[in-house]
Amino acid sequence: MRTDQEAKQQIIQITNELFEMGLLTPTGGNISARGADPELYWITPSQMYKGGLSADDLVCIRPDGTVCEGVTKPSVEYQMHWASYQARPEATAAVHTHAPVATAFGITNQTFPPINTDAIFLADTRIVPWFMPGSKELADAVGEALKVSRGAILQCHGLMTVGKTMRDAATRAMMLEETAKIVLYCKQFGGELALIPPEWVERLAQFASFM
């Protein structure tokens, strides 16, 4: 269990990392973490520039989006974050990015063939059809997808990941983008794919729960 102070520090650190990697747009994407009270969570604010947030910009909210601490307006995606925690009771952090390659991967209905170990770990990723950002419909659909995998790609929007730790959730978000890039490069080269043999896919898949 982390303190509220730790929750805020981790959100700022990961927001900065993801922004520098180009996985958040100036106002697109949001990060949340459970703090001291398991019924509440901390989240990034709505519409503020993501490249320079400080701990004072974060808000602590209840599941219905009402603010219990902080002065900014919470992300409009608060319902999607709450649905993610409900889908995965062990999750303590949720990361929503607007990663460009993973988003295009979802729009074009791609899948992860076993081109490397990360692709095997991500093979259960669900693709969620488009729903209005900030809607209850999107939150419900993402919650269902995250019951199957700890990552979901949102068509025409971005992606959502959860983790037992903030680092786990962020790592999966980064892995989705990097692995989608390799799929893209393979398609651009256009040759025949040299895949990991099925017996190794099966053995490696057993390690997929590490994050």
Q: What is the rounded (10 degree) CA torsion for 164, 158, 63, 143? A: -70
For Zn ion, give the closer residue by CB, 60 or 138: 138
**What is the smallest separation between the CB atom of 119 and Zn ion, expressed in angstroms?**
24
Report the C-alpha gap between 89 and 68 in whole angstroms. 22
**What is the smallest separation between the CB atom of 64 and Zn ion, expressed in angstroms?**
20
Q: Which amino acid is at 49?
A: Y
Sign, CA dihedral 67-30-40-127, equals positive
Place of tokens 């062990």: 90
Point out which span in 16-24, 68-76, 85-93, 157-165 binds Zn ion (CB under 5 A): 157-165
**What is the smallest separation between the CB atom of 160 and Zn ion, expressed in angstroms?**
9
For Zn ion, give the closer residue by CB, 45 or 158: 158
Point out which span in 35-43, 86-94, 158-166, 170-178 binds Zn ion (CB under 5 A): 158-166
Point out which span in 110-118, 143-151, 155-163, 173-181 binds Zn ion (CB under 5 A): 155-163
Give the count of alpha carbons within 13 A of 45, CB side only.
18
Positions touching Zn ion (CB under 5 A) are 158
